[in-house]
Structure 1
Amino acid sequence: MPLIAVLAGDGIGPEVTAEARRVLEALDLGLDFEDGLVGGAGYRGAGHPLPPATLELAKRADGVLFGAVGDPACDALERSMRPEQAILGLRKALGLFANLRPAKLFEGLEDASALRAEVAREIDLVILRELTGDVYFGEKGIRTTAAGLRQGYDVMAYDEAEVRRIATVGFEMAKRRKGVLHSVDKANVLETSQLWRDVVSEIAADYPEVTLIHMYADNAAMQLVRNPGQFDVMVTGNMFGDILSDQASMCAGSIGMLPSAALRQWSDDTGLYEPIHGSAPDIAGQGKANPCAAILSAAMLLRHSLEMPEPADRIEAAVAKAIVGGARTPDLGGSLSTSGMGDAVLAAL
């Protein structure tokens, strides 16, 4: 019986993961669920944002369904004890370096997009973000210059092995989709990006069926709003991927609609699945959160970790049907509660 670790976390995390779990249970797939504390809830309940028991659960699970972490009450804690360290610790401990962030405009949400309807309808892409390197994980600190000024520094770095493994996932994804891979970097000014571009170009020789297009990050941001339909798979580093995927969410209507998967290989392996939105403490407990991203993340869990594409397709089709039928949470201009949106998806199943 496949084991799903449910790490709901903070803020709206428990609300949206509850709806995702309801959908999974409705499919009657013989899944076993086990809850674990994480984030601010982990710190309050067990003295650490990633308690040993939670990490052990994640390691033995077949897939991890994650909510969100972040709690303003924990902002004064030392950095190693803050809620956000939980997700970084899980990615590192599980070796999850490949972050899949699909962005697709669901029919009926054209008015929710920041783009014109005819442009927004063309969005159907995946941003593949490298997850364990780059400036977020490089050497960092505060130092004093020779002039006595405080100076912050963060080192951006990738080695060729790190680039090779994420690029390979990108080519494999593109091969399964439309056969176009955009590699996003800033090779015109960054040596890290120049190495990235060189390595990606080397790997392209092994994938003659995939068209490789190099694009600078600033141009990619512009093209996402100008002509998003040109993109199929975008592979990029940690920081650029973080920024571009949030931009893509507003092109697709709402950040509450975008799921994600953190993987270490394409399929049949433990992965971590979460909505790309944060804990949203300002609306936590009010029933206003959109659970669709969490529900769609559950579909990704079925597809990639459990290799159950048919029920994954059913979940995605049910979300699409609910949206076409007029189901809307406040972020989409509607008035349905979190559980009401979950009811609409369940009805569509």
Structure 2
Amino acid sequence: MKTLKIAAIPGDGIGKEVVPAAIDVLNTISEIHGGLKFEFTEFPWSCEYYLEHGDMMPKDGLDILQSFDSIFLGAVGNQHLVPDHVSLWGLLIKIRREFEQTINIRPAKVIKGIRSPLLNPKDFDLIVVRENSEGEYSEIGGKIYRGEDEIAIQNAVFSRKGTERAMRYAFELASRRKKHVTSATKSNGIVYSMPFWDSVFKEVSKDYPDISTDHQHIDALSAFFVTQPDKFDVIVASNLFGDILTDLGAAIMGSIGIAPAANINVNGKYPSMFEPVHGSAPDIFGKGIANPMGQIWTAKMMLDHFGEEELGTTLLDVVESVTNDGFLTPDIGGQYTTKEVTDEIINRLKTFK
């Protein structure tokens, strides 16, 4: 039997509701499969933890997490308690950076039974590969002067190693999908980093002659996500561009509450981390109506990461059968609770053929 040790961090807000729901689903899969077992260890690291301890996680938190096979995160942030830059850089981004989770991947597709806000979504099925360690989200910069002379400088950092790594990941992914990669750029307005990005993309593409390519400026690409999402397969993007595109991808699916994500460590030194896109949603926390789909789809991505693609596909098929039959939470036009949707998924998993 394969046993996977998973560090569960529900975090803040609805993370405390959807992580237990997804864990119940994964444990059901384990019961059905027989040859796969999950050992979950839960950690209370969150904004509430920060108020009590002065840190988002203990000083040896990363040492603790390093012994696990992966990290299953719910949500980070409650700006009413802790400023966002403190909570994110103290937990989420700290784990991403220290564990060299250099690739972030986020799929978006038409989900049966969920109405896209697009008039004709045309069965789009795309995935964004986001460089996850540098780019516009660097820690280099500073401020000088005060008052009307105050200046803030934020430096974007693009290394050849980091840029090429993200692009090769995208090409490898496309080779298993529809064999097309789109590069998100803005070389007509950003005069150093984006022409560099374009040149690396052109070089890398030569090693993948069977993969067709194009590049789109980020403003036009954002528009095409709305008008022609079906034309895309794999999109590779910088840290900031990828972040923005993937929220747009969630929106055209019908709700940010259904969008999954994975932060991938590609060198095997540290665990990867799996988290939905939705955030902590403090406005609905405690009402029992949070959409568990984002966390459950994230669980599917974790199964895929461990080589259990067949189980992952089964899980998403079951989720789509549930949504197609109208078991929807209020954010996507339904009236079912978190528990009711989760229970329906679990019941169907037990009888899925």
* TM-score band w.r.t. shorter chain: over 0.9
1:30 aligns with 2:32: no
CA drift of 1:267 comes to: 8.7
User: Which has the higher mean CA deviation after the structures are superposed, 22-31 or 132-141?
Assistant: 132-141
CA drift of 1:269 comes to: 7.1
Are the structure 2 counterparts of residues 262 and 347 from structure 1 closer, same or farther at C-alpha, using a change threshold of 3 Å?
Answer: same
User: Given the two structures, how large is their TM-score scaled by the length of structure 1?
Assistant: 0.93
CA distance in 2, matches of 1:58, 1:121: 41
Q: Percent identity?
A: 31
CA drift of 1:268 comes to: 11
1:240 aligns with 2:245: no
User: Given the two structures, how large is their TM-score scaled by the length of structure 2?
Assistant: 0.92
Structure 1: gaps of 5 or more residues? none
CA drift of 1:47 comes to: 3.3
Give the secondary structure class of the aligned counterpart of 1:127: strand
Is 1:70–1:84's contact at 8 Å kept on the other side of the alignment?
A: no
1:115 aligns with 2:118: yes
1:333 aligns with 2:333: yes
Q: Which whole-Å deviations, capped at 9, do the CAs of 1:170-210 have from their partners, x for residues lacking one? A: 11011111000001010112110111110111011110011
CA distance in 1, matches of 2:65, 2:59: 10
CA drift of 1:216 comes to: 0.5
CA distance in 1, matches of 2:63, 2:310: 30
CA distance in 2, matches of 1:164, 1:211: 17
Q: Which residue of 2 aligns with 1:89?
A: 94
Q: Which residue of 1 aligns with 2:271?
A: 270
Matches within 5 A, 1:10-49: 10-28=12-30, 29-49=36-56
1:223 aligns with 2:219: no
Q: Deviating runs (4+, > 4 A) in structure 1?
A: 266-269
Matches within 5 A, 1:1-349: 1-28=3-30, 29-75=36-82, 79=85, 81-110=86-115, 113-116=116-119, 119-144=120-145, 148-190=148-190, 191-265=192-266, 270-304=271-305, 306-349=306-349
CA drift of 1:45 comes to: 5.0
Is 2:100–2:270's contact at 8 Å kept on the other side of the alignment?
A: no
**2:67 partner amino acid:** R
Is 2:7–2:72's contact at 8 Å kept on the other side of the alignment?
A: yes
Give the secondary structure class of the aligned counterpart of 2:143: strand
CA drift of 1:124 comes to: 0.4
Are the structure 2 counterparts of residues 100 and 92 from structure 1 closer, same or farther at C-alpha, using a change threshold of 3 Å?
Answer: same
Q: Which whole-Å deviations, capped at 9, do the CAs of 1:116-168 have from their partners, x for residues lacking one? A: 1xx314220001111111122242333238x9522222111201111011111
Q: How many residues in Structure 1 have an aligned counterpart in Structure 2? A: 341
**1:114 partner amino acid:** P
Q: Which whole-Å deviations, capped at 9, do the CAs of 1:50-99 have from their partners, x for residues lacking one? A: 2245423321111111000111343359x5x4355310000011100100
CA distance in 2, matches of 1:109, 1:267: 36
Are the structure 2 counterparts of residues 267 and 309 from structure 1 closer, same or farther at C-alpha, using a change threshold of 3 Å?
Answer: farther
Is 1:5–1:57's contact at 8 Å kept on the other side of the alignment?
A: no
User: Which has the higher mean CA deviation after the structures are superposed, 56-65 or 147-156?
Assistant: 147-156
Give the secondary structure class of the aligned counterpart of 1:30: strand
Is 1:19–1:339's contact at 8 Å kept on the other side of the alignment?
A: yes
Is 2:112–2:324's contact at 8 Å kept on the other side of the alignment?
A: yes
Is 1:38–1:54's contact at 8 Å kept on the other side of the alignment?
A: no
Are the structure 2 counterparts of residues 183 and 174 from structure 1 closer, same or farther at C-alpha, using a change threshold of 3 Å?
Answer: same
Give the secondary structure class of the aligned counterpart of 2:66: helix
CA distance in 2, matches of 1:261, 1:67: 12
CA drift of 1:265 comes to: 2.2
Structure 2: gaps of 5 or more residues? 31-35
RMSD: 1.9
